[in-house]
Each structure stands twice: as C-alpha cells, then as structure tokens.
Amino acid sequence: AAAAPVPAATAGGDAAGAAGAAAAAGGGGAAAAAEVQLGGRKRAAVSVFKGQSFIDLRETYEKDGRQLPGKKGIALKMDEWDKLCAAAAAISQAHSARNTAYKLLLGGTRQVAISEFKGTCYVGVREYYQKDGELLPGSKGLSMTGEQWGKLVGGMAGLNVQLGRT
C-alpha cells in the first residue's frame, strides 16, 4: 500500500522523520518496525516511508503521554546505515581515544564525527553544509554520548534483523 503524504515539516524536514511522526500519531502508511532506546529522549528506529526503509536517529518529546519524534535527528538511508555499521568499531575506538579529528563520510554532506563539549566526548551523526569554503555542522543530526553510542552499537544487529539483513 502506498504511504499517505505527510508534510515534511512535521518532524524536522526529512521524509523519514515525517514518516515517524505519522506512525507515532497513528496516521499515514509509515510504521516503525523496531526501536532502540539510547537514553534520555534519544532513540533509533526502523521507519518506512513510501516503500523505502530508513534508520531514524532522533530525539523525542512527550505529548499526551506518548513519545513522538522531534525535530532534532537524522534519517539514514540504507547505504549510510551500512557504512555506519561497518565502521562501528573504528568509531568506538576514536570516541574512546577522544580523537576529535576522526571523520567518516556517510555520503553527500553527511558524516560521523567525534566532538567534545564541556568535557564530554560525543559521537555525532550529522548533515553538514558549506559556508565560505568551510564545512560546518547543520541542524539535522544527533549527538550521542559514549553510553548512547554503545546502546546504538548494541542494537545494530536487532535493527538489521528488522530490515531483513543479517
């Protein structure tokens, strides 16, 4: 069945985010097949929009006692997810070493980077943009603490099973 059109603005402007919002609200043709709670209000979920699967890394918010997808986050295409899974050990090692020079290009302007803020080291999966010849982090993306990243790595196998991969 075809997915009902959902305005992209409902969840941060990307299609899978809108699909997640539609699924959480009980509408549309999108459904979250699996979910990994990363801690805080962050989660990773399999979502389907217009017949395409995505991994949605997103912060949620509570409304009427339900957790709904918020604007902060990013929906990864399957090739981007595959690159993230394949590099999980290297990303974990870079995070442990606090290697803020580490970058992994996922595709286009999306990348994984290690950053540090107020003494805490983060794994960021983010879309970047160019300004004055410099690549800067955009608003679409999710920063995870080491603990949250560990939960995502631990949940990768389950998410891949939900995607029909082993």
User: What's residue 138's pLDDT?
Assistant: 87
Max alpha carbon distance in the chain (Å)?
48
d(CA 6, CA 48): 12
User: What's residue 166's pLDDT?
Assistant: 66
User: What's residue 74's pLDDT?
Assistant: 93
CB-CB contact of 50 with 2 (8 Å): yes
H-helix or E-strand spanning residue 141: strand 134-145
User: What's residue 70's pLDDT?
Assistant: 82
- Full-model pTM: 0.74
User: What's residue 148's pLDDT?
Assistant: 95
User: What's residue 69's pLDDT?
Assistant: 81
d(CA 116, CA 100): 7
Q: Which residues of the chain have pLDDT under 50?
A: 1-33
User: What's residue 4's pLDDT?
Assistant: 32
User: What's residue 165's pLDDT?
Assistant: 79
User: What's residue 27's pLDDT?
Assistant: 35
User: What's residue 102's pLDDT?
Assistant: 96
